[in-house]
Structure 1
């Protein structure tokens, strides 16, 4: 949907063009463009930008003064103070309606107000993929902070490259055997049950093979001791933003999970350097998590 379709601008434009002659007809005379003479700028020692008399005595507050980027964005005014800034004109961004090739579900709808969309769809992976940040790094230990920004809880598992290779090879063999089987029945669009991404077994096998190639591109000379059990990441709760409480009755290794606060977890991963002589230390792991897409 375009802007002209929403506000019926196409009909108005067509009605105006109907009374105009064709641009290439003989009735239109070609006029030579007129060239205007522009006087060159002359350098002058006198400028209008006078400094305030108290600029060297008054305490400077950076929040009240505009930056160079803000002044360049408004060349006609170039305000010095932040209170003199005016809103910048921005173009209206419009989305296209797209559907999945396999299940025919709406991936994005051309709505101008995201809160009015029937299927609340977040197009950014920021709200689905948990964050993994190096929280603290020591000589023989690395702490990772995991954060779940989704509104649904998920389980996270950290795997080494060797563990991932064993799991991926068995999964690829299983998918290649099931390529010839019939596809499962599609779920109704009005159901409230979560569904996995609609990918064929051949596509899933190709994705796993690509992940295997990317995992073993770099040589690893540091081994991480990762937790063996999956780690629960609670859902994000905007109402309890200032009252972060950890979930109770969780049987976890206290040496692996250091602390919890809301939807954030910090885990410990001890380091073991294989080749000490190398200056460039490299390590890596595979991050596995569960993502659920619910229809509302």
Structure 2
């Protein structure tokens, strides 16, 4: 019981010392804040006084050139007025600098016994920037950090480099998060993603499931073609890939389909190519055979489709019934990750 009480008293003493040191730090910081707030007030008063002197100087020079300055002694009195700016004076600051200056203390908390022997984990230690952002506590460990408020950021608008039209323009009202103009590519370009990826081993052909998502309001036939090695910007392909030869028709985006108001369009899909279809989503198969034993499995392909131009639809004459079709050719770089190690076998029998 005595050992336990001694330990508890020691912990309590350490807590009291830490609270005292923390209270002294808080007091010092509050003095600094009070001092600098009064310095700011003094500088503001000085600026206002300087503006007043400059205004009086301009007024005196203007009156000296008019007929009003000829009246008895007015001109001489205006000409003798001092137009010099006041000197900088901080006598109005009530807090003395010596009171807020940091002073060395003789009472320093002793280091723990395992301070020099305990291994240091840098990931658990805060950086100087993190400590300066919280001057009251200045935590030494990451677990002691407190959440911070997000700083205000500016809203930027983007323009096209060729036609200089606005592509993205936020609303001027700071309380709103919507955009007045939002013409980013994800609203007009079909999304090509990896839906299911099996382990890819060297020199072994695997089936990878890719997905297509159509954000447009009309059906889009998409043709996929492998990029040639002669193109400059194309990275070197590290796999032999077999893409579908036929066009992949992705249905239009219809928000009412989820509520059952509109029946989805039926397509005659080949089960050897199409894995899944629902609304404006489509999944299909590709064959991938890594050609390198180490490194990433990557390749590039061209995604070709026709886009209904809204600009041409708005500007077209009444004689045209169909909007203009703009053929687009986009180059897509696909990285399927690292090559997997082959499964170990013994006497042609798998260990799984």
Q: TM-score, length-normalised on structure 2?
A: 0.41
**What is the TM-score when the length of structure 1 is the normalising length?**
0.48
The answer to which structure has the higher strand fraction is 2
Computing the radius of gyration from Cα coordinates, the structure with the larger value is 2
Higher relative contact order (CA 8 A, sep 6+): 1
